[in-house]
Structure 1
Amino acid sequence: MVDLMNSGMLNLASLAVSLLVLVIGLVLWFFVNRASSRANEQIELLEALLDQQKRQNALLRRLCEANEPEKQEPVKSAELPQTQEGDDDFIRLVAER
């Protein structure tokens, strides 16, 4: 009779431990799953923000190009005075500080 009681109690304790581990596992799974879905939402929001910033940069670039004053034609090297070339040579000899 004592053997039946001991084996019954052992089975009951084993069942209780199994249920406790199952409940703890489910709680952990819930929090991990919740954190994962929040991270996915944040990634989606960051990607949307990045897309909007790219569109804003493109728009700003177009606005800057439209408001830019017309560029003057650069002076050709043949039209430069000869004295400027001599000055460039002298500047090259001076050490920069």
Structure 2
Amino acid sequence: MAEKQSERDADLRRGIRVEIASFVYNVLKVVVSVTAGLLTGRAALVSWGLDSTVKATSAGTLIWRLRGEAKGADRRTVLHRKKVALSVVAAAF
């Protein structure tokens, strides 16, 4: 049982790291592409960058959801966070 919990904790930490990388990448993509698009007058570049706000929002929501579970939130809280995260990600996309 302890081995399964240890595996679960490792999976949660890995998931958090992946989502943090995704969040950072997408925020940088928004900043760079929107700035470049505005400076060059390219609407396509601006819209391509703004599309990444959806992905950054989803990543931030999943970080919040996974961190709650990783910090040992009770089952009710974990289920609530899962439901909220699903709603936010679905609405974002």
Normalization by structure 2: what TM-score?
0.42
Structure holding more helix per residue: 2
Q: Relative contact order (alpha carbons < 8 A, sep ≥ 6): 1 or 2 greater? A: 2
Larger radius of gyration: 1
